[in-house]
Amino acid sequence: MALREILVVPDPVLKQVSKPVERVDDDLRALMDDMLETMYAAPGIGLAAVQIGVPHRVIVMDLAREGEPPAPRHFVNPEILWASEETAPYEEGCLSVPEIYDEVERPAKVKLRYLNYQGEAVEEEAEGLFAVCIQHEMDHLEGVLFIDHLSRLKREQAVKKVKKQAKAA
Ligand code: K1U
Ligand code: ZN
């Protein structure tokens, strides 16, 4: 396993639309292992492959709370089959937009289809933080960041702040 560098705004790779994965094999599982290691080290609760410069439709996540055993999850070629009309706000963050948090409103529940670590097809409903996180990560697969859901002013301020942090580091 290896730690990978997480790309930050305004890296143009983050705006790419990720390509579908053709098969879940050992190479893909090695990528997902690296993604989880990188996500845990950040630390974060989710990560899309494009955030480490690999524009393929792959997401990892772990929503276990502090004190709970790790619960790593893998989503390959995820699709949203249904989204509720009801929406819910959540104060989101993103490892590619460090130290910026803002409220985004998204469907409160979604039904998903994806391939798991073994390449098996799974259908599942998500609500709460799982629904927020999977929608945030699936936005990454389309080249969309949570700040794209904010006003232009807030988005520009966020990118300016991240650029300033990078210069100071
Ligand atoms: O960059 C990412 O896509 C990961 C992002 C996921 C996310 C967080 C909140 C709402 C939607 C999606 C993060 O993990 S940001 C860091 C974070 O939320 C966190 C870090 C440590 C402990 C708990 C949360
Ligand atoms: Zn993100």
Domain boundaries, given as residue ranges, for the chain = 12-168
Instruction: State residue 93 phi and psi, 5-degree precision.
Output: -130, 175
Are the C-beta atoms of residues 137 and 46 closer than 8 Å to each other? yes
Number of CB atoms found within 10 A of residue 163's CB: 13
Residue 92 among the catalytic residues: no
* Cα angle, residue 82 at apex, residues 43 and 110 outer, rounded to 5°: 30
**27-61 per-position pLDDT tens digit:** 999 999 999 999 999 999 999 999 999 999 999 99
Q: How far is the CA of 133 from the centre of ligand 2 (A)?
A: 9
pLDDT digits (tens, 9 = 90+) for 54-88: 999 999 999 999 999 999 999 999 999 999 999 99
Q: What pTM value is reported for the model?
A: 0.98
Residue nearest to atom 16 of ligand 1 (CA): 44
Atom number in ligand 1 closest to CA 48: 3
Using CA of residue 24, residue 64, residue 39, residue 96, what is the dihedral sign?
positive
Pocket of ligand 1, beta carbon within 6 A: 43-47, 51, 90, 92-96, 132-133, 136-137
Asked whether residue 1 carries a pLDDT value surpassing 90, the answer given is no
Residue type, 57: R
pLDDT band with cut points at 50, 70 and 90 for residue 169: confident
What is the C-alpha to C-alpha distance for residues 48 and 76, in angstroms, rounded to an integer? Answer: 10
85-107 mean pLDDT = 98
Cβ count within 10 A of residue 78: 21
CATH architecture of 12-168: Alpha-Beta Complex (3.90)
Q: Is 118 exposed, middle or buried (0-12, 13-18, 19+ CB in 10 A)?
A: exposed
CA distance 139 to 97: 14
Burial 141-155 (b: 16+ CB within 10 A, else e): bebebbbebbeeeeb
Residue range 108-127, pLDDT digits in tens = 999 999 999 999 999 999 99
